[in-house]
Chains A and B, each alone.
Chain A
């Protein structure tokens, strides 16, 4: 593709922005019990306490998760974001039904809050006394909350007022009724049916990106805290990135260092059997997924029944002394690194060898090789000095295509060998619904991929004079 560097840069910025947005929309997700967990851990408030819902709302307000998601949102005129204050799905439904009928959001909100208040009062009473009247009134309250948008409420109020068993709840009913009257006097139901765009500078994206109550913000490289352990995610991931990146870069390095000379040698030799073997190797490398290779390797070399040469999991011996030098640490972990590295490298090597071979064979048919032959150069010089140089740019752009696959493969390999890297962490984060951690990993791997693409583009631009001249 011969697009200009500025257009390429714009594309990279665009995809960076897309990665940030994806990561953000995952970061704001919350498992249903996240707030309960936090309340229990930080404030020692249990579900059974009477002011639990209020505490929950206060907590949500303090954390800033009741703010709108983005700088603007499409909604109706009536919606003003109050629905976040209702804890359960049921209450949200009741609120939005009322809103659709009457449209005056503030009054509807107050009424719904008063219903909730009545609920809490009844709950507190219920714990003290066990009266049938409380049950009856709470039944009535349920009916009011559920059907206030659909039925004629006047008859309901009079029915409750006339009921002699409910005299104790007169004042409560009065509060509800007054609130209801205020609500129903001036209905603006058109507001619920009018689309509108609501703008707000104070929103969750702003908090997440520039810093807010939950984190210092992405621009300060703070990605928030883990829901469950309360740890900072950046400090959690710091060591893990090193492991993942170290493994994948080493694997790429090994595959290219071995693969390219091997392919050149095979093309130079022109041996049919060798060709056939390499084709078989490539097909095997393609058809053997990393998890199959890993399981087979574990079965062969880490099996008490067969060969117990390499340890099956971890990256260093348990109880390794901390004050050993780095070289000593590396030496101690070498047996742990061999199987994962074979796993990483196997299919990559097959791919690199076969692709380089194909590319070289394609080059050998071109006229400049014929010229070189006519000059009297020997095959060795032609393959190693002329053809290989021309194969380099497409090989490097291949790197960009395999890098995402390597990151994907690292998820499986790290889980298989219990390597404390990012891939292992993402599986754990998924299984425990730890969304901040998940979003951080997506952000990091996305940016790693984009940076890789950019580096490859720059390298190809530098290496291939044709692209340089066509772009300029």
Chain B
């Protein structure tokens, strides 16, 4: 019984992934190919010509509409059961053939809901996967560091700390601060690369000076004193800082400062979602250290990187997988909530959340609520199902 549900979830997720990868080929208002010489006079558009029955050679996508593109003839939420109209070349209003019907209805400006759902899923999945990959990388670094070095910490001398502080300061100052105008020009695309050479030159000279200074400071006895830094404590504190402001509020605020695009939102999510993962990874690494195989690895002379990459990370798979799936679900939900509030990607990007927000505006348009809602619900349910069953095996 349970296996069946699991299989269904995997099938659904695979279906959605395919759908979102192939979205431009599934929902597109342009035909895949047509001979432009065949565009007859009096028509602006191949679809118009096709609708008029003048030409049948073009090959259209499954959903012959793009998301967010207005269809003025069928604007105002338009039910899937209503007839769709178009104006033919004589200016007469006539019914669209079934091939061009809006199967999931239209929204207020007349854009196709089916296309909106397909592209909404595409945005959601892209953001979720990118964000969770970023979060996973951060969490692996943080969690393994704090777990692995939990007991004894790292011994660092004062001269090394000074060296790093000065290096960071120098790189910030000479690499960014005094050339900030040039960097701005560089990113807006109208500047030479000359200043990069300048920066490189200065940084190389400075690094060598600081290295010499470090050599000298290593001789000084009080700078050679070592202190014990525990990454565990620092990382735990950082995690605490990250969870002290509610996540959605932080994301909303950040989305004000960065004009949000899909990638920027994904990065913001990734930078905020790592805390849970890192806590679990830390606990798991601590547990592993007690099992003794890491000690035997150290005893047999493996380097730290070998231990981490060959022995710790493969063993983390079972605890990370459910959390990763839950994380995907939570990013999808939060991102949809963000665009539900109108704070996500710009107003002309159709997402599941923005479709639901339109359903709120037009209470009699059930199709605006039903289709995005069902797609969202089933996706989250299958992610939850997959994550949860892995968890239940452990219990």
Residues of chain A touching chain B, judged by Cβ–Cβ distance below 8 Å, are 11, 14-16, 18-19, 22, 26, 29, 74-76, 93, 96-97, 100, 192-193, 195, 283-284, 286-292, 294-296, 298-299, 302-305, 312, 358, 362, 404-405, 407-409, 411-412, 415-416, 426-427, 430-431, 433, 438, 441-442, 445-446, 449-450, 453
Contact = CB atoms under 8 A, between A and B. Distances in A.
Interface in B344-363: 353, 356-357, 359-360, 363
26 contacts: A11-B236, A14-B237, A18-B241, A19-B245, A74-B169, A74-B172, A76-B173, A192-B178, A195-B173, A286-B380, A295-B369, A296-B369, A298-B360, A298-B363, A302-B363, A312-B363, A404-B243, A405-B247, A407-B246, A407-B248, A408-B247, A426-B252, A427-B341, A442-B245, A445-B245, A449-B245
Given A295-B373, A296-B369, A412-B337, A100 B178 contact: yes
B252 A427 contact: yes
B360 A295 contact: yes
Q: Closest 5 interchain pairs by CB? A: A408-B248, A287-B380, A404-B246, A15-B244, A287-B381
B249 A292 contact: no
Contact of A430 (B343, B357, B363): B343
Given A96-B181, A195-B169, A299-B363, A291 B340 contact: yes
Given A74-B173, A192-B178, A431-B343, A450 B244 contact: yes
A48 to B, nearest CB: 30
Given A18-B241, A304-B363, 17 more contacts: A11-B236, A11-B240, A14-B237, A14-B241, A15-B241, A19-B244, A74-B177, A75-B177, A76-B178, A96-B181, A292-B356, A298-B360, A299-B369, A312-B363, A404-B245, A409-B248, A427-B343
A404 B247 contact: yes
Contact of B363 (A29, A100, A287, A303): A303
A93 B256 contact: no
A27 to B, nearest CB: 11
A15 B247 contact: no
B246 A408 contact: yes
B395 interface: yes
B360 A286 contact: no
Interface in B119-165: none
Nearest to B166: A195
A445 B246 contact: yes
A283 B343 CA distance: 28
Given A287-B384, A412-B341, A416-B360, A441 B377 contact: no
B253 interface: yes
Interface string B304-331: 0000000000000000000000000100
B38 interface: no
Chain B interface size band reads: 35 or more
Contact of B353 (A22, A291, A450): A291
Q: Which one of B248, B249, B388 has the greatest number of beta carbons of chain A within 10 Å?
A: B249
Contact of A446 (B181, B240, B244, B378): B244
A289 B395 contact: no
Contacts of A431: 342-343
A432 to B, nearest CB: 10
Contacts of B244: 15-16, 18-19, 446, 449-450, 453
A292 B377 contact: yes
B43 interface: no
Given A18-B241, A287-B380, A431-B342, A362 B395 contact: yes
B364 interface: yes
B366 interface: yes
Q: Which one of A29, A312, A404, A453 has the greatest number of beta carbons of chain B within 10 Å?
A: A404
A455 B247 CA distance: 20
A206 B240 CA distance: 26
B107 to A, nearest CB: 14
B336 interface: yes
B249 A441 contact: yes
Contacts of B385: 283
Contacts of B395: 358, 362
B70 interface: no
Nearest to B332: A289
A441 B305 CA distance: 44
B337 A289 contact: yes
Contacts of B174: 193
B10 interface: no
A433 B343 CA distance: 12
A407 B244 CA distance: 12
Q: Which one of A192, A298, A405, A411 has the greatest number of beta carbons of chain B within 10 Å?
A: A411
A11 B235 CA distance: 12
Contacts of A409: 248
Contacts of A294: 360
A305 B172 contact: no
A18 B242 CA distance: 9
A294 B341 CA distance: 13
Given A195-B170, A412-B340, A445 B356 contact: no
B266 to A, nearest CB: 18
A289 B336 contact: yes
A286 B386 CA distance: 13
Contacts of B377: 287-288, 292
B281 interface: no
B39 interface: no
B365 to A, nearest CB: 9
Interface string B163-190: 0000001101110011011000000000
A93 B341 CA distance: 37
A298 B366 CA distance: 11
A11 B237 contact: yes
Nearest to B388: A283
Contacts of B381: 283-284, 286-287
Contacts of B273: none
B356 A291 contact: yes
Contacts of A76: 173, 177-178
B277 interface: no
B376 interface: yes
Given A26-B253, A362-B395, A15 B376 contact: no
A402 to B, nearest CB: 11
B337 A286 contact: no
B19 to A, nearest CB: 19
Interface string B366-395: 100100010011101100110010000001
Contact of A449 (B172, B246, B366): B246
Q: Which one of A287, A302, A438, A441 has the greatest number of beta carbons of chain B within 10 Å?
A: A287
A233 to B, nearest CB: 16
Contacts of B369: 295-296, 299
A291 B344 CA distance: 15
A288 to B, nearest CB: 6
A438 B253 contact: yes
B96 interface: no
Nearest to A406: B246
A412 B251 CA distance: 13
B381 to A, nearest CB: 4
B333 interface: yes
Nearest to B179: A100
A327 B237 CA distance: 46
B253 A97 contact: no
Nearest to B377: A287
Contact of B366 (A18, A299, A438): A299
